[in-house]
Amino acid sequence: KKSMLSVLYDADKNIDPFEAIDYSVDVSQTKLIFAKSMSNSLIFTVDGQLPTNNADKTNLVIGKSFSPLNTEDKKLFSINRIEQLPIEIERIEYTNEISIDGLSGFEIFATAKSKSSGELENIYQVILFIDQYYYIFLGTTNDTTNKSIDDIKTAILSFKRK
């Protein structure tokens, strides 16, 4: 109780959302703009708004797990993770091993249908494993060209741990 009552609010304090995370990504060569940070995660959209008002609804969410992962089959974990999304997976196009910044994991590209709007979406997920934890990257777009997925991949490939 004493600790909670000692909290001070400073409306003028500037908070750098990139300072609190243990990684960085470079979106400067993409159409993505920083939108928000939440719980050790970064969210990027085309217009910097959340939710995005852009017609192609391209976004990228990057986060790090909070609790240890207890699984031997990391590929199966990655597939199960994409299937837990609040979308209807139409088809997993491919699942490949990937390595970024010395971490290995899996990339998955899938087509899906939004449960809320019924729109078709392209989903690109990467999970990189580190010890018992993982980084997850989830990009979604309803852009039918390769441009948005390429931008998402460019941002993800720039990932570096601090």
Percent of the chain with pLDDT over 70: 100
Cα–Cα nearest to 110, from 133, 134, 89, 135: 89
Whether residue 156 is predicted with pLDDT greater than 90 in this model: the reply is: yes
Whether residue 20 is predicted with pLDDT greater than 90 in this model: the reply is: no
Q: What H or E segment, with its residue span, contains residue 126?
A: strand 120-130
- The SS3 assignment for 24 reads strand
Instruction: Give the global pTM.
Output: 0.90
| Residue range 92-106, pLDDT digits in tens | 999 999 999 999 999
Whether residue 130 is predicted with pLDDT greater than 90 in this model: the reply is: yes
Backbone angles phi, psi at 59, to 5 degrees: -150, 160
The mean per-residue pLDDT over the stretch 124-132 comes to 96
Taking residue 36's Cβ as centre, other Cβ atoms within 10 Å add up to 14
- The residues with which 14 forms a beta bridge, in sequence order, are none
Q: What pLDDT, on the 0 to 100 scale, is given for residue 115?
A: 80
- 124: pLDDT confidence band, cut at 50, 70 and 90? very high
* Contact between 158 and 26 (Cβ < 8 Å): yes
More reliable by pLDDT, 81 or 39? 81
Give Cα 49 distance to the centre of its chain.
16
| Residue range 26-79, pLDDT digits in tens | 999 999 999 999 888 999 999 999 999 999 899 999 999 999 988 889 999 999
Q: What pLDDT, on the 0 to 100 scale, is given for residue 80?
A: 96
Q: What is the DSSP letter of 77?
A: H
Percent of the chain with pLDDT over 90: 75
- 12: pLDDT confidence band, cut at 50, 70 and 90? confident
Q: Which long-range contacts (CB under 8 A, 24 or more apart) does 113-121 make?
A: 113/87, 113/88, 114/87, 114/88, 114/142, 115/86, 115/87, 115/88, 119/57, 120/90, 121/57, 121/87
